[in-house]
Chain A
Amino acid sequence: MTSTIRTCLWFRDGRGREAAEFYCSLIPGSQVETVFVGDAGHGTIIDFSLGGVPYQILDAGPHFMLTEAVSISVETADQAETDRLWAALTADGGEESACGWLKDRYGVSWQIFPKRLTELTLRADKNVSAKAIAAMMKQKKIDIAAIEAAVRG
Chain B
Amino acid sequence: MQKITPFLCFAHEAEEAMNFYVGIFKNAKIISVERYGKGAPMPEGTVLTASFELFGQRFVALNAGPMFQFTPAVSFLVECDTQEEVDDYWSKLSADPQAEACGWLKDKFGVSWQVAPRQLGQLISDPDPVKAGRVMRAMMQMKKIDIAGLQQAYDAT
Chain A residues near B (Cβ < 8 Å): 1-10, 27, 29, 36, 38-39, 42, 50-54, 56, 63-75, 111, 115, 122, 126, 129-130
Given contacts A5-B54, A5-B55, contact A64 B4 (CB under 8 A): no
CB–CB A53/B6 < 8 A: yes
Which chain B residues border A4 with CB–CB below 8 Å? 55, 57, 78-79
Shortest Cβ distance from B59 into chain A, in angstroms?
8
A75 to B4, CA, bound (A): 7
A67 to B34, CA, bound (A): 24
Q: Which 4 A-B pairs have the closest CB atoms?
A: A64-B73, A69-B68, A70-B74, A10-B73
If over half of A's interface residues share one DSSP class (helix, strand or loop), that class is named, otherwise mixed; here it is mixed
CB–CB B73/A5 < 8 A: no
Given contacts A27-B3, A126-B37, A130-B39, contact A39 B74 (CB under 8 A): no
Given contacts A8-B75, A36-B125, contact A2 B7 (CB under 8 A): no
Which chain A residues border B48 with CB–CB below 8 Å? 122
Shortest Cβ distance from A82 into chain B, in angstroms?
13
Given contacts A72-B4, A73-B5, contact A8 B74 (CB under 8 A): yes
CB–CB B77/A8 < 8 A: yes
Residue of A nearest to B81 (CB): A1
1/0 per residue, CB under 8 A from A, across B1-33: the answer is: 111111111000000000000000110000000
Interface size for B (C-beta < 8 A) is 45
A6 to B4, CA, bound (A): 13
CB–CB A71/B57 < 8 A: no
CB–CB B81/A69 < 8 A: no
A38 to B126, CA, bound (A): 11
CB–CB A3/B79 < 8 A: yes
CB–CB A69/B70 < 8 A: yes
Contact partner, A10, options B9, B74, B79, Cβ 8 Å: B74
